[in-house]
Chains A and B, each alone.
Chain A
Amino acid sequence: MSASVTAGEVVLEEASRAFEVRADPARTLKELFIGRARSHASGPPPIHALRDVSLRVAPGEAIGVMGRNGAGKTSTLRVLSGIVPLDSGRAECGGRIVSLLEVGAGFGRDFTGRENIHLNAALHGLSRAEVEARLEPVVAFSELGHFIDVPVRTYSSGMFVRLGFSIAAHLDADVMLIDEVLAVGDEAFQRKCLTRVRELMEGGMTLVLVSHDAGTIEAVCERVIVLDEGRIAFDGPTVEGVAAYRRLLEESAGSAVRS
């Protein structure tokens, strides 16, 4: 990452990314040498997940990302976290990025909750001493009790979210990217998460939150972008953003009925 963004700043500049759609994404060497042209010509056209998306989020700001399925919400997060590169344009996040993209992502199933705290924190670049200092607060926040010493393959999805969010919330993130996962937890834990997120934002953390739930977004975000077919259809205050998202849903429902 270049030094052109400050910690907590999120920048997308004319960001575009397309994905090829193939039943089997992997090629073989054999195909490369003999059958490549054929396999390339057939098959559906690529999906443009992001088209010329420009976005700037200031440090400490929280932005909600809404849109129908396939609008490019998850792609936006994957691009911002640096997991997937852009075809063109620029994507940068300043400082330490912590992403919560999927329930239980980055967990070893045969390892205990506690061991997974170590692995998950290490994946975000923390040292052993840094992990050990955070261990107790993470365990306490997760409310997992004695389950913290049980292999996570026995966890329910709600327990995965508890652990995943508890870790993410204690990594000193400059930018946190959350994809829908909070919806899996029960209401009490969701409230606890949102309170924690607000605390972290007071400390200067930037939040990019993907959700279909207007309530969650309204609780923490003052700004919303609505994505539609890989483009930004709306960018502005939350109340109007949620309304724009609802209009989009009604339009698509209407056109579905008409056709």
Chain B
Amino acid sequence: MPNIVTCFKWVIDEAYIRTDSSGHLDFGSVDYKISDYDRNAIEEAVRLQEQYGGSVVAVTVGLPEATKGIKDALSRGPEKAYFIKDDSFKNLEPSQTASIMAEIINAQIEFDLIICGEGSSDLYAQQVGPRLAERLGIPSISFVQKLEIKDNQVIAERKIEDGVELISAPMPVLVTVLPDINSPRIPGLKDTLGASKKPVIEITRNDFSGNYEPFLQTKSITAASMERNCEKFTDSSEDIQRFIDALRKEGVIG
């Protein structure tokens, strides 16, 4: 019966980010969420446990404020969470997140299968999964849309540009999942109440030895601008004609 680890990130909900009048990103009224595809990762871990037995633990690395995220994750089915936290974990680079997780997982958690989302909703670097696998010295299969376990092997359908690859790998293995793999359940009141009773292992800066410096430095984050005409037309027949004329003038229709 597989011991499954699922990793998640507590991120700014990008839907709340505004661009102010001077073109800067405004984080003033943001809310947080479990990164979208990590919800699929948690769901898949719980689904596999329901099918094959075993255990599911959730792991996250982040700021101490992410407590709400831990509860949210636990309400989705894992029986235990590892919360690796520090005030300095504000803008961790993928290499740091992966290295920190690898150290803790190696030292403290038994695993056969690690499931991550294909990328986080905020930075979407899509690196933590494969980097974590490399650090742990195990194979990885990314962009998986279907997953089963058979004779101590995982069988995964991986979506690539020109089709699908059906892949097998012996456990322990790490898999990153696509949003199409499942529809994450919405936790009910009972799940939320139950989550408060589940154990949370808190791991602080003193509990791990590595000093993981960032390899990438962020020089700036600016609002992505799209310079467009923004010309509006009504639905009157004259305006429709003007609209078509504009496209002809642009040379994009015959």
Are these two chains actual partners, yes or no?
no
Residues of B within 8 A of A (CB): none
What is A's interface to B at a CB cutoff of 8 Å?
none
